[in-house]
Amino acid sequence: MKTTTHNIDIITDLETPDSESINTPNLDLPTSDIELRSPNTIVHMDLDTFFVSCERLLEPKLNGKPVLVGGTSDRGVVSACSYEARQFGVHSAMPMRMARQLCPEAIVIRGNSAIYSKYSDMVTDIIKEESPVYEKSSIDEFYIDITGMDRFHGSYKWATELRQRIMQETHLPISFGMSTSKTVSKVGTGEAKPNGQINVLRGLEKAFLAPLSIKKIPMVGDKTYQKFRSMGIEKIQTVQEMPLELMERVFGKNGVIIWKKANGIDNSPVIPFHERKSISSSLTFEKDTIDVRKLKEILTTMAEKLAFYLRNGDKLTSIVTVTVRYSDFDTRSRQMRIAYTANDHTLIATVMRLFDQLYQRRVMARLVGVRFSGLVGGGYQINLFEDSERTIKLYQAMDKVRNRFGQGAVKRAVTMDTKGVGQMSNPFNGQAPIIPAHRRS
């Protein structure tokens, strides 16, 4: 497996470069600027073209060939693509029909989320065993806080050895960036790919970021990038030299965040990782009911809101469970295994099917609940296997409105009278799951 280790003057930890060895005007950072930087040591690790790499382990004939993973029909969307395919202009989230036109010789694979989850778990177990504090931000991406490790073991050497172990035991290519912050480390990983590693020394963050495209900064999406380009801004160096007040005036609060990130200032912590296995919602009625229509409205609301939480947390479920507790406290549950999804229409239909099978006694109901388990990371990335571009855009638009104006801003007509049902704080914030008391109507 070919490995690339980047030993560029401004980022190597083998020696401190002098000012003449760096082609950037931002090397000499003011003391106050350096003091703003965290003394932490953060490693960001990212599995390279993860889905494609997993498929190549299963079928070595795919090595060196352009590969597309995603929906196989013309209405499908590219979930992941190999570097060979990217040379033709293909990228993730692109309509499959367009990707095939750009790269006719590409091999298209529908994808297998169970296989990807298996390999992700293997990598997670290794990182968990070796790391003091780690955060799993997606199915193929990790942050590790190794602050203070230099007292006992060289941080860069430790990260290198961890990367080597992952590659040897899983045979998957993985890259990492190391610096004082999440932002710089993540950008570093992107520059280290494919299959490489980078260390950005404290005090050299600005020099490292300066020549890069403004689009390299996390949270700078297409619309923000176009706004920068309309202002004639292309490189991070230009943002570094802009007054903070101007950035805030043009971009609001996000402008302040982007300016700090452009200057290598990011003190956000690595959140200790807790793998959440399920997410659920239940309701105990003040008065027992036999109103089937009301019960179905409540279950629909629960499924709809839990699906929204899944998508916001980049999670998918493969097991749906419905619970009914009768007035005599007899509690019955029924579950069904389904293909990985986070889509309302699939999950609501499954919940209704289970409820119809379950609610047979025609006795007053005291409690109803919905539970999604068998969760995996990947969000829309894996959903692209089964969804059309139109469906994905619909859910993205709905979720955008909900995130801006509240969960109840967009809802089905059938759930209009079920206010307050299924609401909770972000269940995928990296904290250990909290089991809330039953919400009462």
199, 179 contact by CB (below 8 A): yes
Residues 6+ apart with CB under 8 A from 183: 217, 218, 261, 264, 266
Q: Are 338 and 350 in contact (CB under 8 A)?
A: yes
Per the annotation, the verdict on 161 as an active-site residue is: no
Among residues 130, 141, 234, 248, which one is catalytic? Answer: 141
Q: What is the DSSP letter of 77?
A: B
Task: List, in order, residues 6 or more apart from 307 with CB less than 8 Å away.
Answer: 342, 343, 344, 347, 348, 372
Residues 6+ apart with CB under 8 A from 408: 419
Half-sphere exposure of 51 toward its Cβ, with a 13 Å CA cutoff? Answer: 26
332 forms beta bridges with 324
Answer for the pair 54, 119: CB distance below 8 angstroms, yes or no.
yes
Helices (H), 231-313: 236-241, 244-251, 253-262, 292-312
Q: How far apart are alpha carbons 57 and 169 in whole angstroms?
A: 12
Tell me the C-alpha distance between 150 and 153, whole Å: 5
- Active centre residues (catalytic): 141
